[in-house]
Amino acid sequence: MVINLEALLTGIFGVGGGVHWFFQGFRELKSSRTIQNIPTSRIMTGAIGTNVEIKGKIISPSNRLLSAPISRQACVFYSIEIQRLVKSKDHSYWKKVDQIYSNEELSVDDGSGAIARVFIDGAEIQRRGRVEKFQIRSNEFLSMPEPLHSVLKQNEDKLREFKLKNSSWLFSQKYRFVEWCFVPEELVYVLGYAEPGIRPFKRNKLKFTQFLQAKKMIEQDTQLQSRFDQNQDGILDAGELERGAQIVGVGLQTEPVPIQEKEDVRPIKMIFKKRKGFTFLISNIKEKDLVKKLSMKATFKVWGGSILAIATVAYLIHVSI
């Protein structure tokens, strides 16, 4: 069996791309089911130390707003995704090479009396809304708008692949900068592992009275029951109830010292960060629409990846005969 080099490279990329799509689709399907299964919690009263879903408005301490470098829009947070135009024999596409954020975190307020701090790095962002784009060749970087050039310069140490250096005309490449923003009071949905946003005093051993109080709270609260129903079978068994009572009970007997902004008297009750094994999602899309979008993408990738991989293998067999 002899396969020429072009067919072999096509096969490698085809099978590799198909397998990548297949497993990516399964991850997105898992995310959509997680969103459906976890009810929305209040920041002040939600459980800590597990997957939590919150919904609230983005806030800016003392109304300190930023100016986005491309659109010049006043915002709380912006992102610049850097893409390079990649050309091949049959087609061309924009490849993401880097991304920078205006700051590391967002603050979310759901009106419950506490705030959530959300660290962006590693989160999957699903959003709708205004997107601004700017294109330029690498031999013309010095002529790009000053605000964008300044932001790229300030973030040089964070850029892994992109270099803000003028190239010669002969070796120039085309780049695209894609900007999106989150504005004050914008409603966002966050799903992820919630860490405590408070410094607790030294915890004493959980008292039996607090354990019973916490157990009773869970038995009377359907949201807490759903939160600690680990296998999502709709029934809170004895082990799940005991684990939940331990977590809630410790929270009941711990007096916290809030970590907070000087200008804000509300405590930061939850902190969201990327944590291995847990879905971490930030979105300004309604939950129903988000689930539909993720499910459609996941189905397309699972089936599309399978078909691509199988078709590529069939092609290799055909050309080798």
Q: Coil, strand, or helix at residue 223?
A: helix
pLDDT band (50, 70, 90) for residue 258: very low
Over residues 296-306, the mean pLDDT reads: 65
- Distance in angstroms (rounded) separating the CA atoms of residues 316 and 321: 9
- Residue 259 pLDDT: 44
Q: Tell me the angle at which helices 238-253 and 208-220 cross, rounded to the nearest 10 degrees.
A: 120
What are the C-alpha distances in Å from 306 to residues 14, 16, 20, 117, 316?
A: 10, 11, 10, 39, 16
32: nearest Cα among 275, 290, 284, 230: 290
- Residue 317 pLDDT: 63
165: nearest Cα among 198, 137, 128, 207: 137
- Residue 11 pLDDT: 56
- Residue 173 pLDDT: 93
Kindly report the average pLDDT of the chain as a whole number. 79
Q: Convert the pLDDT of each residue in 98-116 to its tens digit.
A: 999 998 888 999 999 899 9
Residue 62 has phi, psi (to 5 degrees) of: 55, 25
pLDDT(151) > 90: yes
Q: Convert the pLDDT of each residue in 230-250 to its tens digit.
A: 777 888 888 888 888 887 776
Tokens (6 digits) for 70: 């491309």
Q: Which residues make Cβ contacts (< 8 Å) with residue 33, sequence separation at least 6?
A: none
pLDDT band (50, 70, 90) for residue 211: confident
Q: Which residue has the higher pLDDT, 21 or 223?
A: 223
pLDDT(204) > 70: no
69: nearest Cα among 128, 138, 145: 145
Q: Convert the pLDDT of each residue in 6-22 to its tens digit.
A: 555 555 655 666 665 55
116: nearest Cα among 39, 185, 54: 54
Counting residues of the chain whose pLDDT is more than 90, the rounded percentage is: 30
Whole-prediction pTM: 0.61
